[in-house]
Chain A
Amino acid sequence: MTTDTINESLDDAHNDDHHDHKMTGIKRWLYTTNHKDIGTLYLWFSFIMLLTGGALAMVIRVELFQPGLQIVEPDFFNQLTTVHGLIMVFGAIMPAFTGFANWMIPMMIGAPDMALPRMNNWSFWILPFAFAILIGSFFMESGAPNFGWTFYAPLSTTYSNGSTAFFVFAVHIMGISSIMGAINIVVTIMNLRTPGMTYMKMPLFVWTFFITAYLLIAVMPVLAGVVTMLLTDTYFGTSFFDAAGGGDPVMFQHIFWFFGHPEVYIMILPAFGIVSTIIPAFARKKLFGYSSMVYATASIALLSFIVWAHHMFTTGMPLFGELFFMYCTMLIAVPTGVKVFNWVATMWRGSLTFEIPMLFSIAFVILFTIGGFSGLMLALTPVDFQYHDTYFVVAHFHYVLVTGSLFSIYAGAYYWLPKWTGYMYNDSLAKWHFWCSLISVNLLFFPMHFLGLAGMPRRIPDYALQFADFNKWVSIGGFAFGLSQLIFLAVVIKCIKGGDKAAAKPWDGAEGLEWTVASPAPYHTFSTPPKVD
């Protein structure tokens, strides 16, 4: 602990005569280049977006509570589903993981900050602008984008309402933010690791974010491309996706999903990293098969580039195309399965305790695996013809994104809150958050499997009578799940304000450089690189 005190006093010395002494108030947050501050900004932003996207979902579930059109017009319903998807993907999940990356990667590799701190500030601050544009489009005369978050042409080009341009600008800005953030992460991990920390000594968390950053750099520009083509087709008379001009609407889907499929892995690999950190800590046992986990993550990332057309089985692909994509998609189950088995093997014959981070992580493993099973079923092309564009798909991706990514984000938040705030969170309130979320999330999404199998299509504001019962329960689950997230808000606010003081390492099984500094982590950490053997 003496080393900490020395580091702290060195930091204080820096604070006194270094030119970037801590500013206060709004200026601190606007101009900060500190990875901890920027991490905090990202995390708060993503939570606000989660609640916003969630509010849109609540309106959707109110409308779908009973058959009939009660509160919204069908076109507005399409706007709700579209913006809900865009906010959750680009505003909630991705920025949350970026927040974790900013807070934890420098500490985990013993670096003083990210490699490009000023670009880091820009990466964050353009995001509120992007979402102001997107959400502001609701107040336009024609309304917000209404063509689904996947914005297929020509619904999003020739047949779109006036919001397409704003949609495109917002997406471009989000893309630039992600690309800058990803470049920052790659350079930081490649160049700023403390001496002695070779690649195969990095925590798995750092590996998953490293690989995710490469995926981002590779595919976000393709999104930028396709969204630009959309803009020119809609406003400047090009015919990328217009058959009349020699284009092809199915080509849109190829280019979009070339981005889109790696995108969903971008949204899950960091989750794998978080869970791979927490389970060993609470099993008091090293992560099983560290190298396999690294190779499995890399394989998943590579394979993610060659499976995109499994979103397009009904577009009229020839047989050999369908077979190729079916086989490759099924193949991804292998490295993913390896990871699940490794987590179970980590738990096996460990010495388990069930603090909140562990509860969320175990729930992640079980429920993400269920999402993986429905994904495997979807990969089988002949049966996909029955599942495609139904609630079966909606069930699948909500299991992997909500009980998958979101639960891992909660797990990580609870795990590192003591490090961030210096206080332990209120355990009984957190238990309420976990159990209410766990039960309601399954009530919300599990019946969607049945709805899809029974024949209910996606993106419809009203449905036939045989779907009524399950929709009612789904809506109830939705309202309960939405309310449960307010408990988390209460936990976080309480924790920031005070509570039991947190030790430098509040979890006795935890490992990693971040636990060698005090809680809350000093503003500047590892100004001197730590020794790692």
Chain B
Amino acid sequence: MSEGTEQKTDKPNNSKVIKKLVLVVFAMFGFGFALVPLYDVFCDITGLNGKTNDVAVAYADDGIDTSRTVKVQFITRMAKGIPWQFEPVINEVSVHPGEMKFVNFYAKNDSQRDIIGQAVPSVSPGLAAGYFQKIECFCFTQQPLKGGEEVEMGLQFYVDLDLPAEISTLTLSYTLYDISDKVDS
């Protein structure tokens, strides 16, 4: 029974390789999930997907670069099924890099029920996202509005001094979602 004897002598070698390979399998499964935070980190560093900071930053008082002006545009979109009005009060401002700016957004809950909204920001071009610093933003928190209620929400920001020279216009878009179902009251 040379088959049987072969198995016996090879068994220890087989187990070693098998253990290593199974470890790789689990490691790669974990890697798949690790890609999620990795992706976030990568996007934070490079601004790849246009995501901006979701925690307030302090204003870096490093001076204002008056030699250049940057156009900042604001657009809003309502996700499906949220009966709100949501508009920027002015849709475009010109700022100098380093200069603090304050703009308002108007929101109204057109329905008769209470709704909790969440504004999700996105900046284009993606690379500019890393240089768009929000000091205060209504997008940092959930926005509950009672039926029929209207509000003006503020955004305080500045554009980094080292915004690459080739970017002279950047657009900030907010998509508004109804997250009433997702929030445990």
Give chain A's interface residues, CB within 8 Å of chain B. 14, 18, 112-113, 115-116, 179, 183, 186-187, 190-192, 217-226, 229, 237, 240, 243-246, 248, 250-251, 254-255, 258-259, 316-318, 321, 524, 527-528
Query: Of all chain B residues, which has the CB nearest A113?
Result: B3
Task: Flag if B120 contacts A243 (CB, 8 Å).
Answer: yes
Task: Flag if B32 contacts A226 (CB, 8 Å).
Answer: yes
In the bound complex, residues from chain B placing their C-beta under 8 Å from that of A251 are 35-36, 39, 49
**Considering the chains assembled together, what is the distance between the CA atoms of A318 and B50 in angstroms?**
10
Query: Of all chain A residues, which has the CB nearest B36?
Result: A240
**Considering the chains assembled together, what is the distance between the CA atoms of A150 and B179 in angstroms?**
28
Query: Of all chain B residues, which has the CB nearest A528?
Result: B2
**Considering the chains assembled together, what is the distance between the CA atoms of A251 and B127 in angstroms?**
17
Q: Pick the contact of B6: A112, A258, A259 (CB < 8 A).
A: A112
State the main secondary structure of chain A at its contact with B: helix
Task: Flag if B175 contacts A243 (CB, 8 Å).
Answer: yes
Task: Flag if B14 contacts A179 (CB, 8 Å).
Answer: no
In the bound complex, residues from chain B placing their C-beta under 8 Å from that of A318 are 46, 48, 125-127
A-B contact pairs, 5 of them (CB 8 A): A112-B3, A192-B10, A221-B26, A244-B120, A316-B49
Task: Flag if B13 contacts A191 (CB, 8 Å).
Answer: yes
User: When A225-B33, A240-B36 are in contact, do A316 and B126 touch as well, CB less than 8 Å?
Assistant: yes
Task: Flag if B14 contacts A187 (CB, 8 Å).
Answer: yes
- Segment of B17-25, B89-97, B107-115, B143-151 engaged in the interface with chain A: B17-25
Task: Flag if B32 contacts A255 (CB, 8 Å).
Answer: yes
Task: Flag if A217 contacts B21 (CB, 8 Å).
Answer: yes
**Considering the chains assembled together, what is the distance between the CA atoms of A441 and B25 in angstroms?**
38
**Considering the chains assembled together, what is the distance between the CA atoms of A223 and B120 in angstroms?**
28
Task: Flag if A183 contacts B49 (CB, 8 Å).
Answer: no
Encoded as 1 (CB less than 8 Å from any A CB) or 0, chain B from 38 to 77 comes to 0100010010111100100000000000000000000000
**Considering the chains assembled together, what is the distance between the CA atoms of A187 and B20 in angstroms?**
10
In the bound complex, residues from chain A placing their C-beta under 8 Å from that of B32 are 221-226, 255, 258-259
16 A-B pairs besides A217-B28, A318-B127, A528-B2 with CB distance below 8 A are: A14-B3, A18-B1, A112-B3, A183-B21, A186-B17, A190-B17, A229-B33, A229-B36, A237-B182, A244-B79, A244-B179, A246-B54, A248-B49, A254-B39, A316-B49, A321-B48
Task: Flag if A244 contacts B14 (CB, 8 Å).
Answer: no
Closest Cβ of chain A: how far from B11's Cβ, in Å?
10
User: When A186-B21, A318-B125 are in contact, do A527 and B2 touch as well, CB less than 8 Å?
Assistant: yes
